[in-house]
């Protein structure tokens, strides 16, 4: 069932509700005139724990890739001790194919800042750092201007409507990243925030206990925090009326796929862009109803459902439902960031695999040997196959190599190697014949035994 009204794109003209050519930056005055910060005022009438419980009841899941329940993450914080407590906003958005958060940063940054302020009140956090991708130059300036407007209206700073938190005035700052993909991983983000090399940390301790500067820290994505305001304003029952619930007979402990979602669609479609729909929409419906179908009337061949680390959907999976259970049902890693990359019938899947492997080999931080060496060897092997110099043995070697690296088999600290693993594995498994036509069969030759010495 299609979404009846825009939620996150309420003030950003987006098809089918508005024309993108009419988009403009929403100032704080325009934000207030359209109901902005009403959710914050409502949250301030509630006890902090009540706000946490409300978000927990809504079953809002992280919309930046991992899908971990946001309210549950908030509840992991230890009791206040009068010392610093931080909120780190993950606005790195370096996953290839992902550009959904950029839409909010470009046009409606106060939607994010309202969610930030509610989270600071609910979790008793006195300082927020928005860690923004280094290449987002214009977005950083736009967000900085919005933060200055928020200070002028006493959302943050001395005399803030949030009041004193841990004996301190609440503050919000921007931290510019330096372009490393691995800093999208939350603990690498914290290392970079502290001025160190962006290397993922071994966990535990988890950030909620010892995060930025060894203090309790909540890390949430831009879209996740932007959804908090509408949930507080309309209630968890409204949120759970959207999206896709649990499968029949599933236990309550199984997280559902409630709510709307921003889908960033690129690739071989007639109208690429960011579209808002309920979780659970079919890929084919998203492509045909919002993106104008496959470009030039060609046939669908494959799609990456959520950024390149999630793997690929095959030609028979065009009707895949885009929800958090997509990995189990369709043999990929998950929904990820919902950065959908569509590929038509003319796409060379060997070249796709090689290009993805090149990215991961370049972006590996080098801390873990299986990732540092494995991604490089995967890239070299795929280059050899693409050039027609590989053998059938290389395909088996690639799958063996991919299956032995990553946090899931327990050989690396973070999931970058898992992304490389799933991307290459799913492409080879679902398009094996295309790879086999590019390699030479390996022949085993029996050599005569040497004569025994006299």
pLDDT at 318: 96
Q: pLDDT value at position 348? A: 96
- Cβ atoms within 10 Å of 431's Cβ, excluding its own: 21
**Cα–Cα distance measured from residue 369 to residue 358, given in angstroms and rounded to the nearest whole number:** 17
Q: Please report the DSSP string for 198-240 in residue order.
A: --PPPSSSPTTTS-GGGS-EEEEEHHHHHHHHHHHHH-HHHHH
Nearest-angstrom CA–CA distance, 135 and 113: 21
Q: What is the pLDDT of residue 447?
A: 54
Residue 257: CB atoms within 10 A of its CB come to: 23
Q: According to the model, what pLDDT value does residue 260 have? A: 96
> Which one, of 399, 413, 401, 305, lies nearest residue 365 by Cα?
413
Q: Scanning the structure block, which residue is given the tokens 């390149």? A: 308
Residue 454: pLDDT band with limits 50, 70, 90: low
Per-residue pLDDT, averaged over 294-317, amounts to 95
CA count, 13 A, side-chain hemisphere, 71: 19
| 104: nearest Cα among 186, 210, 31, 189 | 31
Which tokens go with 376? Answer: 């490089």
* φ/ψ of residue 258, rounded to 5: -80, 155
Query: Which secondary-structure segment (H or E) carries 264?
Result: strand 260-267
Q: Which residues contact 436 (CB under 8 A, 6 or more apart)?
A: 392, 395
Instruction: Residue 379: count other Cβ atoms within 10 Å of its Cβ.
Output: 22
Residues in CB range of 142: below 8 A, 6 or more apart: 25, 105, 106, 109
Whether residue 247 is predicted with pLDDT greater than 80 in this model: the reply is no
199: tokens are: 């290397």
**Amino acid 117: pLDDT:** 98
* pLDDT score recorded for residue 403: 87
What's the pLDDT band for 451 if we cut at 50, 70, 90?
low
With contact defined as beta carbons under 8 Å apart, do 416 and 182 qualify? Answer: yes
């Amino acid at each position: 069932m299609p979404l009846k009204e825009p939620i996150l794109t309420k003030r950003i003209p987006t098809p089918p509700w508005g024309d993108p050519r009419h988009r403009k930056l929403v100032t704080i005055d325009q934000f207030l005139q359209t109901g902005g910060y009403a959710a914050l005022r409502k949250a301030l009438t509630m006890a902090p724990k009540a706000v946490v419980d409300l978000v927990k009841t809504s079953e809002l899941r992280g919309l930046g890739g991992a899908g971990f329940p946001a309210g549950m993450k908030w509840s992991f914080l230890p009791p206040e001790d009068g010392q610093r407590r931080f909120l780190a906003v993950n606005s790195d958005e370096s996953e290839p194919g992902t550009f959904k958060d950029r839409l909010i940063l470009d046009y409606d940054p106060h939607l994010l800042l309202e969610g930030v302020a509610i989270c600071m009140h609910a979790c008793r956090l006195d300082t927020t750092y928005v860690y923004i991708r280094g290449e987002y130059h214009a977005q950083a300036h736009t967000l900085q201007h919005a933060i200055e407007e928020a200070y002028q209206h006493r959302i943050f700073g001395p005399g803030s409507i949030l009041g004193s938190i841990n004996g301190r005035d609440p503050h919000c700052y921007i931290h510019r990243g330096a372009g490393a993909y691995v800093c999208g991983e939350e603990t690498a983000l914290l290392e970079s925030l502290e001025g160190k090399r962006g290397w993922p940390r071994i966990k535990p301790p988890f950030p909620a206990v010892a995060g930025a500067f060894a203090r309790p820290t909540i890390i949430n994505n831009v879209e996740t925090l932007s959804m908090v305001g509408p949930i507080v304003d309309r209630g968890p029952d409204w949120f759970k009326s959207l999206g896709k619930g649990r499968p029949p007979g599933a236990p309550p402990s199984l997280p559902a796929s409630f709510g709307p979602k921003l889908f960033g669609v690129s690739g071989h479609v007639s109208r690429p862009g960011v579209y808002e729909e309920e979780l659970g929409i079919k890929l084919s419906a998203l492509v045909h109803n919002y993106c104008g179908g496959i470009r030039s009337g060609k046939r669908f061949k494959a799609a990456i459902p959520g950024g390149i680390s999630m793997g690929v959907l095959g030609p028979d999976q065009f009707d895949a439902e885009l929800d958090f259970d997509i990995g189990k049902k369709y043999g990929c890693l998950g929904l990820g960031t919902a950065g959908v990359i569509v590929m038509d019938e003319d796409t060379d899947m060997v070249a796709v695999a090689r290009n993805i492997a090149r990215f991961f080999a370049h972006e590996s931080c080098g801390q873990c040997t299986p990732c540092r060496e494995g991604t490089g060897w995967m890239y070299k092997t795929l280059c050899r196959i693409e050039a027609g110099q590989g053998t059938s043995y290389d395909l088996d070697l690639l799958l063996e190599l991919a299956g032995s690296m990553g946090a899931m088999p327990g050989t690396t600290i973070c999931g970058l190697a898992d992304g490389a693993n799933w991307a290459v594995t799913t492409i080879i498994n679902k398009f094996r014949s295309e790879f086999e036509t590019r390699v030479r069969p390996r022949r085993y030759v029996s050599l005569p035994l040497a004569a025994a010495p006299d």
